[in-house]
Chain A
């Protein structure tokens, strides 16, 4: 009996490792794979689950590069808290996943390891061999995570999400992607892009699998100063249960924010999203239009804040303590730290990272600070206020909420498309165009407000590429968001 279980387990693990071996050369999701370890005890909750980890999350047994030349051979001296939790739960960490350099990008094309190719193949083109499928972007920055799940190379993947880096690739690759409430999952050991926005995300093929992994990671960590307190977690989950005690669709109020249907939204996204909302209503949910008027300003606020924090976080990569070091050329002024650092930083950072460092550095200069950084912080608060006005559940973190009384007219969750289009073809991409930033427009507000958001794939037929639909809830309502995601999954 025991031997059977073990064989089954071994077969499962090797199916992921087989898939990596067979498929990854045409996907480029993995940066490195681990050696198969010993079997974990079956009583453990993630026994038998092969999980891959975005390369921005530290592993002590594998290099952690953040897809940057700067950290090409860098192996951290510790495991991230999330990696430790997965190992303790019996998961097999199968490898490290490609991403945009330091998480900066929406298409996973800014990687020293090369772009990730979306593993999706439309139903109607199945006569073409899979490896010769249309080459489209997997989305970013967690493109490797989404692609690895989509291609069956792991049970689930850890991603990060600063402004949509989990939800966008989930949408492009047709998998589930959860960005939990800010502060629920520990960031200790997660390489910072913008600390006030960074979240660890979970990706899997189903909402149930996503939830299974999320439950393991959802724990207070005293090593992370932004980890939510136990009392905040308890209050939020109590409020959520109070607001939706029956878990029935007929008791659910869903808001459709009008600002999330911009003119750039493509028809191939709009139609299936409308269908999904219609069928939710058919099953008894109350669907109401809502307005989040500050949404148009969110993107610029996001770029100022995230770039400012990024410029600060990238300052440590100077070639002195670890990572890439490019020696100064002969004759250089050895007394000037700047002259020496320039060599390493010019060679180590890719163009997108350099661009954001410059933008962020400017936003923090004495002359620009008030007009950019502080202004962006004010917009961020307005975005939060927008959400608090429409949600039924009060914001337990904000002292601005007038009372902890539920707002009866408010909605439980918001629903909107995850992206303005389907995965763009890799060849046609103009890395510098504004369009690549506009992709983030639908995902950034939840990041600014620290809210839980999940992207669930909608069913596709024939020539259709994956489309994701997003559910956003109040802070701490991750359970609720997952539950609604589960309903959406079952509609189809």
Chain B
């Protein structure tokens, strides 16, 4: 398989087969919390793609060149990187693109505690390319961060679309809100299990 083919497999795996939310259980808080409206779901999704891509590339460099022989510092180093990065991105966007800041603004600080972001950074350190032997290089890590962000956004948008319709449905009082959202997520996860059979 050529390199482009492997990247394609990585993309399909991250978005559908091993979706971060529905099969790895990462990033559930924003998935359940920010999926009430399509607009806010889209804003959150974009912010997550942005931060995940940047985090993946920077944590790759930190892990490869700074942490050699000090693996026990990994968790602390990664979470500090993410916190600093989110703060930095927030300031840059606020200065350079006020319109984007207005739409992303509230979601950016929330991303620090989105476990999908720390999750992708940690998983990248041990992940292998689809051929099963080569560890990720810098480009692979960055791309994997991007694809994982896209996977998150896809299910977040789907969930928001369904939940907007649910507003109009006459539900039993005890099922309103979180319970029905969770059951919905379960049905979506069941549907995503269909992708598991894919062998690429």
Tell whether A pairs with B.
no
